[in-house]
Amino acid sequence: MVVLIFAMVCGVYICSIGLKQIGVSSTGRIVSVHLVEKPCEATDIEPLERPYVHFPKPTTFSRGECACNPVRNFAILSTQRSGSGWFETLLNSHMNISSNGEIFSIKIRKSNMSTIVETLDKLYNLDILTSASKNECTAAVGLKWMLNQGLMQHHQQIVEYFRARGVSAIFLFRRNLLRRMVSMLANSYDQNSKMLNGTHKSHVHSPKEAEILASYKPMINTTLLIPDLKQVDDMAIKAVEYFNSTRHIILYYEDIINNQTILYDVQDFLKVPRRDLHSRQVKIHKGTLSSQVENWVDVEKTLKGTPYESFLRADYKI
Ligand SMILES: *[C@@H]1O[C@H](CO)[C@@H](O)[C@H](O)[C@H]1NC(C)=O
Ligand SMILES: *[C@@H]1O[C@H](CO)[C@@H](O)[C@H](O)[C@H]1NC(C)=O
Ligand SMILES: *[C@@H]1O[C@H](CO)[C@@H](O)[C@H](O)[C@H]1NC(C)=O
Ligand SMILES: *[C@@H]1O[C@H](CO)[C@@H](O)[C@H](O)[C@H]1NC(C)=O
Ligand SMILES: *[C@@H]1O[C@H](CO)[C@@H](O)[C@H](O)[C@H]1NC(C)=O
Ligand SMILES: *[C@@H]1O[C@H](CO)[C@@H](O)[C@H](O)[C@H]1NC(C)=O
């Protein structure tokens, strides 16, 4: 009898220990699941900065060890032939910056505000994969957005989106709009004539290619010259006005060429660690403007005494 009772007590005791262990391991599992889903905290980030800091969870890959590295959203707002391609290659030479090009050159993406929002959501969630996409340790993600790619048209809703998603704007303009015009004309001429062995290139990587492209001297229609310059000028002013409530910085191509310390300002603006940035792109048009325009004498005559006269003078050395 005693032995039987002893055996029963032992059995109950062993059973209860077993049950307790099952309980521990199941609550243990719950705890570990909890840890994985714990949101990243921006504790060491100043309160004013918090709206600009994000912890995206891409659906296409895992951010791994950098899951809790903060990411900032930006957009380079610019016009064609203003050095934005070159500027973007500079940014992309930084290991923590990923600028994904002219995402809105694809027509359906800019067709209405809902496709624009869908595209931007995907981009800022790190789910648009381009050659510029970086590893999981991206700290600033953005795109290059031309003013005529739906940006001016939907400006109110885009400003609202930028506010809600904490997107910072980098305006990049060219001071000398006459030089920009020469670059536009030469680029559109090359679209048809394809001077580099039958391929059209907007940007080049060797002095030889640059020389070939610069050998074409455009003829400028002097009737349209002043209205055209004014239109581009006005559009830039308007864009800055529209986006004046967005956190922004305004850059000029010529200033960056003359003084590359401006690139540190840009990195500070994006809150990424400072690095020396590089681009392999080669400038196409060099030297004085007078040697790049077919009807220079007429152009000079047209601009003398107008607000655009300064465009005739050399504005940087290279
Ligand atoms: C927006 O454009 C897309 C693609 O062109 C189209 O499928 C969609 O119906 C449009 N939405 C609205 C609200 O117009
Ligand atoms: C930048 O990238 C490096 C390497 O991928 C990573 O170790 C570092 O934490 C990143 N910096 C930031 C600020 O995210
Ligand atoms: C064009 O082709 C020739 C040979 O066919 C080559 O030597 C030259 O480098 C090419 N030029 C460019 C700009 O690609
Ligand atoms: C300049 O443009 C105007 C307006 O489009 C046109 O009437 C004129 O013929 C053009 N002039 C030249 C020289 O092409
Ligand atoms: C932004 O521009 C609007 C006019 O477009 C102006 O009324 C407003 O004062 C500007 N805001 C700032 C902060 O400059
Ligand atoms: C270069 O730019 C920085 C600010 O970005 C400025 O402080 C500095 O004075 C500039 N240097 C020259 C030589 O203009």
Q: Which of 223, 215, 246 is nearest to 73 (CA)?
A: 246
The 167-173 sheet, strands edge to edge: 97-99, 140-146, 72-78, 167-173, 248-252
Residue 311, classed as helix, strand or coil, is helix
Express each pLDDT in 256-265 by its tens digit.
999 989 999 9
Express each pLDDT in 144-201 by its tens digit.
999 999 999 999 999 999 999 999 999 999 999 999 999 989 988 888 888 888 888 8
pTM (global) more than 0.85? no
Q: Is 262 in the pocket of ligand 6 (CB under 6 A)?
A: yes
Nearest protein Cα to ligand 3, atom 7: 197
Residue 275: burial class (beta carbons within 10 Å; 0-12, 13-18, 19+)? middle
C-alpha R_g of the chain: 28
Which amino acid is it at 193?
A: S
Task: Tell me the CATH number for domain 47-312.
Answer: 3.40.50.300
Spans in the chain with pLDDT lower than 70: 6, 9-12, 14-15, 17-38, 134, 314-318
What is the Å distance from ligand 5's center to 162 Cα? Answer: 16
Q: Locate tokens 């296409």: which residue? A: 60
CA atoms within 13 A on the CB side of 318: 17
Nearest ligand, CA 208: 3
- Is residue 120 a contact partner of residue 158, using CB atoms and an 8 Å limit? no
Q: Which of 56, 246, 49 is nearest to 151 (CA)?
A: 246
- The domain limits of the chain are 47-312
Q: Is 227 in the pocket of ligand 4 (CB under 6 A)?
A: no
Q: Is 197 in the pocket of ligand 3 (CB under 6 A)?
A: yes
Q: Which of 166, 206, 209, 167 is nearest to 186 (CA)?
A: 209
